[in-house]
A and B are shown apart, each in its own frame.
Chain A
Amino acid sequence: MNKVWLIIQREFLTRVKKKSFLIATIVVPLVIPAIIGGLIYIMLKEAESAKPDTIMVVDESGQFNLDSTKNTKRFIFVPLQLSVDQAKKAYNETKDFALLYVPKFNINKPEGLTIYTQENPSIEKVADLESILADRVRDLKLQEFKIDKEILKNLKTNINLKQINLTKSGEEKSSNSGILYGLGFTLGIMIYIFVLVYGIQIMQGVIDEKTSKVVEVIVSSVKPFQLMLGKIVGIAAVGVLQFLIWIILITFLSSGVLGYFGLKMPQKQAMEQVQKKMQQNEDMKQAMDQQNGKVNEILSNLGEIPFMKIAFVFVFYFIGGYLLYGALFAAVGSAVESMQESQQFQFPITMPLLIGYLGLFMFILRDPHGPVSFWLSIIPFTSPVAMVGRIAFDVPTWQLILSMALLVGGFIFTTWVAGRIYRVGILMTGTKINWKVMAKWFMMRE
């Protein structure tokens, strides 16, 4: 046991002392807030400086009345009294965004509306313009059906479903799938990345020991299994340390960056903007009230999420998943003689992880309690990503316990399998490796 501890220490210290560790540990937290800050900065700048695009309008139908009164924040409409061909020439001499041509059309089946542009317009702008035009057509239809706009406005109601989970004991818990989605998504991806990145580090370490031949000296002092275990645990410690530093630094720096732009919390930014708009536009007041209600609801929902439980589950699956896959990576590393050679084995062993990751998007976040989600979060190979993604959606306790027990069983199993391959593999050089050979090693007597 003492020797395993020595190995853990060495694996940990040699990695932590490396310059690349220092750089990665410090740069990543610097870069992420810098990117966030940069994006916010650009967005703010753009919002300030964004000028509306000018669109020339040739309206042959005479129905659209797209004049300056219809200007929006994005578009300025300039009606022209020209024919299309004349207008095209005129447009080409300007730097305006587009020329809109509205032919005579059937209001029930508007066809032939065309925009001419000098550059490819963004889909977003076209979509914006289309919705303005669609609104105009709708207005025209309303006029034709003799329906007053005001009446229509009154007809429109905004519904926002309040979500409450009714537990068996009759307790009510309000929930918000948006937050849960975000939480599940983030945690699931973190586990996926962690397992992959550090799994590959284990493999690299094993390959290095094998190719530098130092392994024969080491296994004359300790059992191969001890060496494998020490390496896996030592690298896990590096990963955990790096993650902790990242989380602390990112939290500090991000809040620093946000603070610089006068926004303490993203929600507050939203609130402030909404308030500004409210002053400008009385019509939006109603919407605003709802918005306010929504913010309060989100905040209260945040309070309802069992963070302690999630944190515990996250750490458990984080470590469990890493151990399960780490052993497999070690086995592959012991069999091959270069990273290149390892690639053919990497994909098959990480495939279940990838399935868990895809399942997270396709099933778990959409239907957290469906049968596929259930199985993905129970099977040990997919559960580290799947269960962590699912946990925010209130998983029944028996399922959680079953999944955890299976994960523990799973990593004991993979470690055992990997250990048997590893003990033979590290001493084998110059063998052509395939799955059959590894199976043979696995079967070999001690």
Chain B
Amino acid sequence: MEALVAKEVTKQYAEHTALDKVSITIPQQTIFGLLGPNGAGKTTLIRIINQIINSDSGEITIFGEKLKSSHVEMIGYLPEERGLYKKMKVGDQLLYLAQLKGLSRHDALARIKIWLEKFEIKDWWHKKVEDLSKGMAQKVQFISTVLHEPKLIILDEPFSGFDPVNAELITEKILELKANGSTIIFSTHRMETVESLCDHIALINKSKKILEGPKKQVKDQFRTNTFLVEHRGNHFTLPSDKYELKKQTVIEDGLFSSSIQANEGIKGNQLIRDLIDITEVYSFQEKLPSMADIFISLVKAEGDDQLKKHLQEG
């Protein structure tokens, strides 16, 4: 069963379309990266899933059921713009938020204790949020997001505001939650996070989904058949009907690094064979596109298309 399926979700505001027939499928127990530039419509989609706003058309099913109001208790949501009641004590605050998510007072109290211990902040219970530092408040907010053991956790830029140590701690907890069966939606701009954590991704640009799939598959799709070779000596020429030398840099005296794109149909082995005869190969690897590359190239291409279209029309 899929954790979440969105079918042709559309949201129209007076002046612009925030989401245009967006469909995504989020498999259970995965970390799903929801990517896209600012203003692409990610937050709108997240708000629709959280039932903060309604879509104009389209359908969302969550664990096989049509989205309904009781589902809010299954979802944990960490919005990009963090916020807690400033004058409320940490303990009271967590208790209140957990109860709003349908937890009984008794259960909530027990779980708050466990989580505060996990983060080693047991003595914060009586501290007011306004007396906490930004990072500390973020921890409290993270706890409030996962306290009711949601099956679907939506994290919007979860690492902003955390120092590297705490970011590591949060990463650990996120993986723990996934291991325990939760599905996690990540909305982020940080490609290194996507690279290291996400199993699946979807890219939304200008209110439309332009890419979706398992990370591995997406990357394969964007392979350019380019190889990175470290070699000694650069006095060689490759047959230009098969290869194109994209870039060559000097690593140290006599040692070079070349990025070579092979024509379609030519495998790595063939290139190695061709190289062995003409130079001394130190290392060889296929250059896979990074998520950042894919993101930028797609978003830029769209922008160029738009620009062209605009120029043609104008």
Contact = CB atoms under 8 A, between A and B. Distances in A.
B79 A213 contact: yes
B96 interface: yes
A213 B81 contact: yes
Main secondary structure of the interface of B (DSSP, over half): loop
Interface string B85-99: 111100000001101
Given A14-B87, A222-B100, A427-B47, 8 more contacts: A6-B99, A14-B88, A214-B83, A216-B79, A216-B83, A217-B141, A220-B50, A221-B100
B304 to A, nearest CB: 30
A446 B51 CA distance: 11
Given A14-B87, A212-B84, A218 B79 contact: no
A220 B75 contact: yes
B72 interface: yes
Contact of B52 (A7, A208, A427): A427
A440 interface: yes
Considering residues A214, A221, A222, A444, which has the most beta carbons from chain B within 10 angstroms of its beta carbon?
Answer: A221
Contacts of A222: 72, 100
B101 A221 contact: yes
Interface string B49-93: 011111010000000000001001101010101111111100000
B276 interface: no
A86 B312 CA distance: 107
Interface string A209-238: 100111111111111000000000000000
A201 to B, nearest CB: 14
A219 B47 CA distance: 10
A3 B84 contact: no
17 contacts: A10-B96, A14-B88, A213-B82, A214-B84, A215-B83, A216-B52, A216-B79, A216-B81, A220-B51, A220-B72, A220-B77, A220-B79, A221-B72, A222-B72, A223-B69, A427-B53, A446-B54
Considering residues B47, B75, B96, which has the most beta carbons from chain A within 10 angstroms of its beta carbon?
Answer: B96
Contacts of A6: 96, 99-100
A445 interface: yes
A3 B100 contact: yes
Contacts of A3: 100
A6 B72 CA distance: 16
Contacts of B83: 212-217
Nearest to A222: B100
A223 to B, nearest CB: 8
B257 interface: no
B85 A219 contact: no
Interface string A1-13: 0010011001000
Interface residues on B, range: 20 to 34
A369 to B, nearest CB: 50
A440 B97 CA distance: 31
Main secondary structure of the interface of A (DSSP, over half): helix
Considering residues A219, A223, A444, which has the most beta carbons from chain B within 10 angstroms of its beta carbon?
Answer: A219
Contacts of A445: 54, 56
Contacts of B53: 427
Contacts of A440: 14
Nearest to B49: A220
A221 B79 CA distance: 13
B138 interface: no
Nearest to B84: A214
Interface string A198-209: 000000000011
Nearest to B73: A221
Q: 6 nearest interchain CB pairs?
A: A213-B83, A214-B83, A221-B100, A220-B50, A213-B81, A220-B77
B143 to A, nearest CB: 12
A216 B99 CA distance: 16
Given A3-B100, A212-B85, A445-B56, A217 B79 contact: yes
B205 interface: no
Nearest to B53: A427
A209 B73 CA distance: 21
B18 to A, nearest CB: 13
Nearest to A10: B96
Contact of A220 (B14, B52, B82, B96): B52
Considering residues A216, A427, A444, which has the most beta carbons from chain B within 10 angstroms of its beta carbon?
Answer: A216
Contacts of B73: 221
Nearest to A426: B52
Contacts of B87: 14
A8 to B, nearest CB: 12
A445 B13 CA distance: 9
A218 B84 contact: no
A215 B81 CA distance: 10
A236 B99 CA distance: 22
Nearest to A6: B99
A214 B85 contact: yes
Interface string A369-389: 000000000000000000000
A224 to B, nearest CB: 8
A223 B84 CA distance: 18
B199 to A, nearest CB: 24
B24 to A, nearest CB: 19
A219 B53 CA distance: 10
B182 interface: no
